[in-house]
Structure 1
């Protein structure tokens, strides 16, 4: 069964796309409170998976484990600040082979602009035209139940790190409104979506993961993974 979702229409900015991929300004530092749950999380690279990616245009995203063979679990990532446009999202360690879907998403993006013209009669022989330009902001605040599986991630069966890629909040909501799931371009096929910038998405994510898991075995693993992409910028 498909549920009706609010209509999302906006103009996607190429600047947002580029800065999210490669701009160091869009990668925030985290507070001790933000990373506390990652520092104390149970699970190691030997028995768990940490998944991460970028979901720009969102203020909050939650994932829910939906495979009945595995324990129920909800992940809420890192709370984003008002100045963070990267949309970085990171899990605590999860069970290999499990399945997660976006269960809640809240965000916004500046949309298009509209103009209107009004004509005022000043004198019987003279009129004046006034043009007004309005900028719109599109907002979504949407819960997704298990019959609304519009963004689903299959966690690898092998323990370790997993990058699910990068997707705009507007893109996810537009697909959901049409009743279509978002196609996942993860670390195995990420270049099909992002071309030569695909590996940079992975490295940007690893950079943030290292900050959150500093001092743990996950940091050590992430540093090893970074070494596989010597051509990418270290932001």
Structure 2
């Protein structure tokens, strides 16, 4: 057989498009997750360190953004600013950074009251140094685990937006848009739409397994023999 996984509705090879779609979908999801963590962790740890009015302003702003369904909000913003890859990354990253902010603030508050942080303040260390050297190393395990979970949510959000036609635009290969483009083939008994859908499910489950393994490895627990 010339095409291992068959062709899509336009006769394009599915295996090649799945590979290119993985590069685009996963690459954009990783970039979006990194940006959301850069924003969320920075603001969350600053709020935990300073507390007071800064914490109140940031927390209330995050509460307002989290009260709006993220998928609907993303659809509205993308319809306003366009569906370019840059807009997609920035909009989803800013919406997702609210969840990261809440976690970073919660774990940061527990560390910011420790004595070694107070000693660093008395030594005259600046907030950047305290966050980078004292707080961040002590909150890395939950943040790394959250990174894996956030990646899954961002990945699924991008795939959903592409399926709805406002995410990654043709002719760029993308798993979500590939499901939409080939959806009509399922009525003819063709399993082509199930290939990108299966790839989405497989990647999500795999990342969750890695996150569970990391949480177990960093918890200090040992398997019973």
Same fold (TM over 0.5): no
| Higher normalized helix content (fraction of residues) | 2
**Structure 1-normalised TM-score?**
0.26
